[in-house]
Structure 1
Amino acid sequence: MRAKEDAKNAKPQQPIIRPGDADADTERPAVPVAKGGKGTGSEQVKAKVQEDEMEEIPIAGRTKMTVPKMKDQGAVQGAVQGSEKNDEEVVVDHTEAKSELNDILKRSPIIIFSKSYCPYSKKAKHILLERYAISPKPFVVELDQHPIGQKLQDLLAQNTGRRTVPNVLVNGKSIGGGDDIAALDHNDELVSALRSMGGKWVTDVRHLPPPAAAEDQL
């Protein structure tokens, strides 16, 4: 009887769990799970750090670009100022070319924009300067010899839709290139075209009689 009472009063022994034992019934500490499905805490911290390392900077005061933050704020300011400087240079170039073009257009109602080595330019100059008496005399601009010839050519392309040379302007409007001038001359339409486009500014346009000798061929 005593043995039964001792067995009844005895405390149950706790199971000994050794490292490495796999016991499915053993409760393990719960691992915290990040809420909201946005990853673990470390991933959220990393994303926050990356977000803090980015910033938006204005480019030339109009658009914004997202770039990594620079430790040297002076570098950011320098980049912005550099972009603004490039925009300012473009504006200056355009203004310079526009001013020069306006000055050129005042020279004569008929302007021949040419390049000294271009055979088509040579053709247009030969017809307008040697085969016709035009008053005021057409003014020739050799773009390859002009200090800002390339800028002028860019502006002419923008204003007239014609980039190639020659580009013959009458009262600021393009009448065409070498082949166009040759076609008008061949069809005996050049005088009427120049008078029509030149208006009162072109006071005289006459076809010169051919010289006694054979005309130079291009």
Structure 2
Amino acid sequence: MKVSSKKKLIQMIVISIVINGVIPVVVYKLLINYYSSFVSLLIATLIPLGDNLYHVVKYKKADAFGLFMLTGFVLSLLAFVLGGNERLILLRESMVTGLLGLLFIASLFFSKPLIYHFAIRFSAEGESEKKGQFAKNWELPYFRNVLRIMTAIWGIALLGEATLKIILVYELSITAFLAISQLIFYGVIGAAILFTIVYRRYAKVRLNNLTNLQ
């Protein structure tokens, strides 16, 4: 079961990279011979948006990545209305990623950081008992510190990804940037997820020791 789940996850990642990275590059290179660079890029970036909208309509459920792309598309249109060029369109995802990073960091100054709300929504899986235990653990200073560290790491990772792509968009050609941007995105997100998994396991062991002592 675990092997099947991992295989399915890998397939989903590969398909996503193809749709969001490879196909837009191919479409852009084909259209650039007939249209302006701006129009070609705008059409190419509609492909991942269309794929996500298809899944929203089919499954009647929006996911984080779909909303991410939709927000990026809105920012692209805004850049166009304001007289933006193709570089601004390329930066649309970085604008969203950077904004999310700022939200993660800003949430550190509130009573509960974003990771708390995400964790209680997805980890508890709707079970009231687990939600109650999660809320109870929040009373422990160590648990609060763990969630704030996770929130900070995600905020820094997202801001770092946005900053790196903002620099590269002016250093690389459009074709090269389209090809590498998704690798950067998945690399940063993958590293953040790996950190979360490893740190969560370590923290869970220490948390269990602390609760047993009480």
Query: Under a length normalisation based on structure 2, what TM-score does the superposition of the two structures give?
Result: 0.28
By relative contact order (CA 8 Å, sep 6+), the higher-ranking structure is: 2
Pick the structure with more helix per residue. Answer: 2
Query: Under a length normalisation based on structure 1, what TM-score does the superposition of the two structures give?
Result: 0.27
Pick the structure with more strand per residue. Answer: 1
